[in-house]
Amino acid sequence: MMKFKIFSKTLIATLIVASPLSFATDVTAGIAFTTVPVVSISQSRPIAFTNDFELALGSTCTMAIDGTAIPSEAEGQMSILGGADPGANAGYQVMTNDCDIVSAGTTGIYTVVGGAGVPVQITVNSAADANISYTPAGLIVDYDGLDSAGGDSWDLVTVDVQQTVQIANTFDRDNSVGRAVVGETRIILGGEIEALQALTAETTYPLTFDIDVIY
């Protein structure tokens, strides 16, 4: 027992002397980041078809907007066209089929807000109730994140399908001829209304449809 005590004291003394000899120094290296902001979507302008929709089952009212009938650069807030605002394409918001085709319709504008330069998944959904259906048609701005006049593009909406576009980043905005808002992209919609049954005269038929947005 006495020998054990002596050994213990010797060991403690050795440790005290030896420990300063290491000269080791540690650093706890930090890593930090912040995730992308919450993504949201809001209506910047409601869609408005022209009136005088005919009553018969199967009637349709169509507002043109596609790759050959594009909205103005200002509405899309993009820099694809460059230079001065060229205004809307001649076919833009032109109405056809079984409604007032003399007047122009008004496209809906929907604004997505999220992380600058971040890809986002957008699904434009069709809708229907017992009276009418709505099949969207339109365009989504897909920014390129670069300081170039021709890099941004319109992506045609594929209804009920998730599509990926990129939200505007700083360089999209920095382009002197661009209109991009950093952290936003836009969806422009026309499309077609169809009567699913014989409709009643002098009646307004409301319908809601969904646009889903997710990173």
Query: Using CB under 8 A, which of 15, 26, 42, 203 touches another protein?
Result: 26
Contact 65, 189 (CB under 8 A): yes
8 or 170: whose CB is closer to another protein? 170
The contacts of residue 36 (CB under 8 Å, 6+ apart) are 114, 115, 118, 215
Instruction: Give me the phi and psi of 173, to 5 degrees please.
Output: -75, -35
26 or 202: whose CB is closer to another protein? 26
Contact 213, 163 (CB under 8 A): no
Q: Does 115 bind another protein (CB under 8 A)?
A: yes
Distance of closest approach, residue 123 Cβ to another protein, in angstroms: 17
Query: Using CB under 8 A, which of 11, 37, 48, 150 touches another protein?
Result: 37
46 or 119: whose CB is closer to another protein? 119
Residue 199 CB burial class (10 angstroms; 0-12, 13-18, ≥19) = middle
Contact stretch for another protein (CB under 8 A) within 18-26, 63-71, 123-131, 186-194: 18-26
Instruction: Give me the phi and psi of 207, to 5 degrees please.
Output: -155, 145
Binding residues for another protein, rule: CB under 8 A, are: 20-39, 115-118, 145, 169, 215
